[in-house]
Every structure is written in C-alpha cells, then in structure tokens.
Amino acid sequence: MAKSKKKHCIVIGAGPAGMTLAVGLTNFGHKVTLIEKDAIGGDCTNTGCIPSKALLHAASLVGEAFSPTEALEYARNKAKALSEEEHKEFSEIKNLTIEQATAYIKDKSTVELTYGDGAKTALTGDLLIIAAGASPNKIDIAGVASDDLLTNETLFSLTSPPEKLAIVGAGPIGVEMATAFQKLGTQVVLFEYQNAVLPGQPPKISALVERSLTSLGVQVFTNYGVESYDKAKQSLKAGNNSDKNDVVVDHVEKILVATGRQPRTKKLGIDNLALETTKSGHIVVDANGRTSVDSVWAVGDISWLQGAPLPGTTSAAGALARRIVSKISLPYVPQSKLAPVPVAVFGSLEVASVGAFAAEPAEHILRIEVDMATTDRYYTDDVKDGFLLVDVEKLTGNIVAAALAGPRSAEVINLFSLAMAADISMYKIFKYVSTYPSYAQAVNKAADIFMSQNFNAVGSSAQAVAKAKLKKLFRFFR
C-alpha cells in the first residue's frame, strides 16, 4: 500500500476536527503542531456539546439529585474535567506539539503565533489544516449592548438560573437550552424568526417539538423577531413577521442568542491565501477537505463542503477529518463515498434525522409515516408523542432520508444512518429483527409499511425511477 512521505502538519484549532487530525496524522508518523488559543476540546468540550448535555442531564434530576445551582455547577465541572483530561492525554502523544497561542496565517506554509504574554514566533510546515471552528452569531437588539447578550460561550458561566430567560432562535441550541432552563425552574420564552421550531426539520416533527416545549411550560413565539429591550423595566419587545402585531414580555432578566454561527475566518489571515470562500466566509472544500490552494485543507464549522454541505456537528467534523488523514497519509488509496451524517437535538422531545427531505416526495419516492405512539414500547412507557418519517426509493428500497421524534431517537437514527451508508435496502431491513419491546421497532414498522405499500406497485415504481434518472441525465447534458 503506497504511503506518503512524512510531513509536518500545522493544525489550527483543537476542537473535535483538530483533535481527530492530531491523533490520526501522528499515528501515521507525521509531525503535528496543534494550535489552540483557548482550551483543548474547542467549543464542543468547553461551551457546546458536553456542558449542554450535562446540563440537560442534571436539569432532569433537579429536586432529586441536584438543586438548580448545583446542576449548573455540574455542567461546568464536566466540561472542565474533560478538557483537562484531553489536554493531558494529547500532551503525551508522540510527534505532537501543542501551542497555546493565537494563529495568524502568513502564507500556506507559515503561521505566526502570538502567545498570552504578547510574544510572537513564526512556524513553518509542509501542510496547513484550518479547523478554527465558528463563533455565535451576534444580533442587534435596541436597548441592550451585544456584550450583555448571552451566547453558548457565556451561558454556562451562570452560577444560578435567572427567573425569566428569553431565547432568540429555536434551532438546536435554543430548543435544548429552553428545555434545560425550564426544568431548572426558569420561565423560558422562546422566539423564532421563522414560522416553526427547528425550522430545518419536517413540519410534523417541528410541530411535535413545539407542543412538547409548551407542555413543559416554555412560552413559544414563532414568526417573531426580537426588536428592543427596556433594561429598566426588563421588558423585551418582539414583532410578528406576518401581521406586525407586537408582543412585550416583562421581567426578562437574561437574553440568550442562539441564531446560528459564523466561521472564525476574519482575523485568521486567510486573505493571504486567496482561498475560495462562500459569502458567509466559510472555506470551500471538496469531499476530502482540500481547499482551492494546494497543501491547504479545512474542516469543521469553518469549512463548506461544495455541492453537499455537511451539518455543523462534531460527528461531521470528525468524519471529514478522518478523510483528510487518509488522503494525506494514503494519497493513492481511493476514498469511499462520504457517508450521510445524522444529527440530533436533545430537547424535551428528542429529535434525530439523516439525509434531506424535499417538501413533497418525488414520484419515485415513497414517504412512510409512522405514529410511534402506536408501538408497544411507547405504550408501556406511557409516551404519547412520537413520529417517524422515512423517504425510500420505491424500486430499489434505498433510504433517502429519515427523521424521528421521541425517546431514544438519537440512538434509533443510527440504524437508518448505517443502512444509508452501507446501501442496506428496505427489502433487507424487512428481514431484520429488533428486540421487543424496544424503541428500535420504529425501523420494523417502517419496513412493514414499505413492503405492504410497495410490493404490488413494482411496475409503476420502476417507471418512476427511470423517469427520475432520465431527468437527471437531461439536466447533465443541458
């Protein structure tokens, strides 16, 4: 098997992508310098995945194992302990040097490091891999300074929950933190500019999530934009995007902004590389993480996969990082296709999905819907809400997309993700036996529906698939 010559790889950013690169590249004998200006682990360990899930766990035990303040402390301690453990572990890796500094790219082989005491030094290498991540979006709210707005980077520094918390943005962070803080005893008010909670999910799943939040006590306002805040009165004003009717919420102590993220490219020096970027500032990469500049790679939240953007998740960053390791270390070995990346939101109603749904399924696609409340495990656990949506090619049985809302969705979705990655069709899944009673019976239900609805329509399914492929062919030759 042909291997590459050993390289000195400069990796900017010690989040999930950077850490995956450091481990993978050093395992192949490359020298790696890992640059991180903050704590090892990046946003995921320190201000994202780990403290948020720890807080969700602790919040569910308030009154039993934790007080509200203890729950917040538990989340901070979990993040701190893991970051310290990761730093210790990575400090012991052979061929890896960790530089606690701010990076500025001078050219494709030179990075200037600025340390905490102001000292500077230049670092040169053979390959540059940019994994600097992203920062929370900032928004303007009249009457409040942007520094007074909470983001995921500052939220977990709270030592006690506020009486009332307004959250702007009902995406994954907004939904999860609305769930956590409502359980901590805070009155949460959740605003979403678009017309649905989790606007990226299928409408039926978004509706179930909104219903679960309101059942928990969260006040939800969709199709509203936050406009101003009266600090003296602690009142927050938001306007409806359709009828322009305003709503004013009083006694708001804190405001959390969860309106997405922006790549950390502004002060990184990428202009010195003349990289291809998107309008949002993301670095454009191919399916192997290569940028438009030779010997420069990018991965994680700072990158944008051309043609098929990856979700901004830890698992997506890790998947692309492993492909970069393979391409650098085994350049002549063909790469397999990039597997679909599942995503999950751990709110009051757990949601998970993989693949992309069209608003309406194409003629050759069978859309399967399963009311999970009719399954036996939902019955035994007294779960009232649960839903599964799957798009499947009628003829081949290949799964195009799947989404679930309900308990253990983040675990069950992995069965669909595996099937999509390994080309396991619904015909084969139909033979699969799951434990009884389990939440995984969602997969069996979907396969049963596929076989019953599709078996007698094989002829029309073949025609639909043929028409779809012809349409793609015609578009290619235009």
Residue 298 three-state SS: strand
Spell out the SS3 assignment of 356-411: CCCCCCCCCEEEEEEEHHHCHHHHHCCCCCCEEEEEEECCCCCEEEEEEECCCHHH
pLDDT tens, residue by residue, 67-118: 999 999 999 999 999 999 999 999 999 999 999 999 999 999 999 999 999 9
CA gap 12, 37 in Å, rounded: 9
Cα 435-439-443 angle, rounded to 5 deg: 80
Q: Are residues 150 and 164 in the same domain?
A: yes
In a domain, 188, yes or no: yes
Co-location of 125 and 192 in the same domain: no
186 in the same domain as 118: no
Give residue 456's pLDDT.
67
Q: Do both 211 and 226 map to the same domain?
A: yes
Q: Could you tell me the CATH number of the domain that includes residue 240?
A: 3.50.50.60
- The confidence score (pLDDT) of residue 179 equals 98
Q: Give domain status of residue 383, yes or no.
A: yes
Instruction: Provide the residue range defining the domain that includes 170.
Output: 146-259
User: Given this model, what pLDDT does residue 147 score?
Assistant: 81
- Is there a domain that residue 222 lies in? yes
| Overall residue count recorded for the chain in this entry | 478
pLDDT in tens, 220-247: 999 999 999 999 999 999 999 888 789 9
- The residue from 298, 329, 360 where one domain ends is 329
Q: What is the C-alpha to C-alpha distance for residues 30 and 247, in angstroms, rounded to an integer?
A: 58
Assess whether 217 and 358 both reside in one domain: no
For the chain, how many structural domains are there in total? 3
| Residue 184 CA from chain centroid, whole number | 24
Which pLDDT belongs to residue 145?
85
**Do residues 281 and 250 both lie within one domain?**
no
The C-alpha atoms of residue 420 and residue 426 are separated, in whole angstroms, by 10
Same domain, 305 and 357: no
- Whether residue 364 lies inside any domain: the answer is yes
Q: Which of 284, 301, 329 is the last residue of a domain?
A: 329
Compute the distance between CA of residue 87 and CA of residue 79 in angstroms, rounded to an integer: 12
pLDDT value of position 4: 60
pLDDT of amino acid 466: 55
Cα–Cα distance measured from residue 10 to residue 132, given in angstroms and rounded to the nearest whole number: 12
* 128 and 186 in a common domain: no
Q: What's the rounded Cα separation, in Å, for the pair 190 and 211?
A: 13
Residues 16 and 73 in one domain: yes
Using a 10 angstrom Cβ sphere, with 0-12 exposed, 13-18 middle and 19 or more buried, the burial of residue 128 is buried
Report the alpha-carbon distance of residue 9 to residue 30 in Å, rounded. 7
Q: What is the pLDDT of residue 308?
A: 75
Q: Is residue 62 domain-resident?
A: yes
Q: Based on the domain organization, do 161 and 255 belong to the same domain?
A: yes
- 166 and 150 in a common domain: yes
Q: Could you tell me if residue 342 is inside a domain?
A: no
Residues 281 and 355 in one domain: no
pLDDT of residue 477: 44
Reduced to 3 states, what is the DSSP secondary structure of residue 80?
helix
Cα 454 from chain centre: 34
Radius of gyration in angstroms for the set of CA atoms belonging to the chain, rounded to a whole number: 24
Query: Last residue of a domain, which of 226, 259, 292?
Result: 259
Residue 473 lies in a domain: no
pLDDT at 464: 56
- pLDDT computed for residue 1 by the predictor: 47
CATH number at residue 427: 3.30.390.30
Its pTM stands at 0.91
In the predicted model, residues of the chain with pLDDT beneath 50 are 1, 474, 476-477
| Pairing between β-strand 120-124 and β-strand 246-249 as defined by DSSP bridges | unpaired
Give a yes or no: residue 334 inside a domain. Answer: no
